[in-house]
Amino acid sequence: MEAGVFDGPGDGELFGQLPQRTAISGVASRLLAYLTSGDIPVGTRLPPERELSAKLGVGRSAIRGALAALEVLGIIDVRPGSGSYVAGTTSELLPQTLTWGMLVSPQSTEELLEIRSHLEVLVAAGAATSATEADLDYLEECVTTLEQAVDDIPAFVTADFKFHDRLARVAGNEITRQLLSTARSLLRIWVDRSVSRGQQMAQTIAEHRAILEAVRSGDPAVASASMAAHMRTATERLRTFSGSDAEATTAAQADAS
C-alpha cells in the first residue's frame, strides 16, 4: 500500500456493513482493527466520510464520531479540508490501542464515568493544597462564565472543561490531567445534552461554586467532598444520556444538520 492512499488487498478487513446498533463504536473498532492489523504507512489517508458511510452502512454522524474518538486517542490525524490520516506505525499505534481501546466501547462508559469521578476527587484535594491566587482568579472566571452562559451551551461546556482542566493542572500530576482530558473528550458526545436544561445548569453552577470555595479554603477534605457531590450528580446526568437512545438522537441531529 502506498503512503497517502487508503487502498489495497486488506480493505476487505475494513469494509462491510456494520449493525446499526453499534454505529460509532462499530466504526471505531473496525478502524482500530484495520490500522493495527498490518503495515499501514504513516500518512496514509483514509477514505472520505461519504465513502466510509456507504461502505460500512452507517450514517455520516457515526463516521464523524468514530474519527473524533480515534483522533483523541492519537490513532489518526484529522486535517480540516484535507481528510483523516494514519498518525503512526503499527508498533506505535498498538500500545495506544491496548491502553485506550476499551474507552471506545459504549459498554465501558460506566467504568469510564467511575474512573473519571475518582480522579476528579483526587484532583480537587490536590488543588486545595496547591492553588495560587492566580489559579483561584482563573477558576473564578470560569464559574462567572458558567453563570453568564446559561443561554450558550458551547460556552457553558467550554467553561466547565477549563475549570476542571485547571484544577488538574494545579494538582500537579500530568498523567492524571491527560487521563481526565481524554475521558472528558470521549464523553463529550453526551456532555452538551446533559446540561441542556435550566435546572440542571443551575445545579451545575452551584456545584462548581462550592468546589471553588472549597479549594479556596485550602482544606483538601472539604474540596474532595464538594467534588464528590458534583461527580455524583454529573455522572447521573451523563449516565442518562449515554445509552443507545442518546446515541441515536445525537446521530439523528448531526445527520439533519
Phi-psi region of 4 (alpha: psi -120 to 50; beta: other; left: phi over 0): left
Q: What is the mean pLDDT of the chain?
A: 77
CA distance 138 to 217: 16
Q: All 3 cell numbers of residue 61?
A: 454522524
| Residue-wise pLDDT tens digits, 128-172 | 999 999 999 999 999 999 999 988 887 888 899 899 999 999 999
pLDDT higher at 248 or 238 = 238
Q: Answer whether residue 7 shows pLDDT above 70.
A: no
The sign of the dihedral angle between the CA atoms of 206, 208, 211, 216 is negative
Q: All 3 cell numbers of residue 204?
A: 451545575
- Which residue ranges form the domains of the chain, and what is each CATH number? 9-100 (1.10.10.10), 105-249 (1.20.120.530)
Lowest mean pLDDT among 38-47, 62-71, 93-102, 241-250: 241-250
Q: What is 215-254 written as a DSSP string?
A: HHHT-HHHHHHHHHHHHHHHHHHHHHTSSHHHHHHHHHHH
Proportion of the chain above pLDDT 90, given as a percent: 31
SS3 212: helix
SS3 39: coil
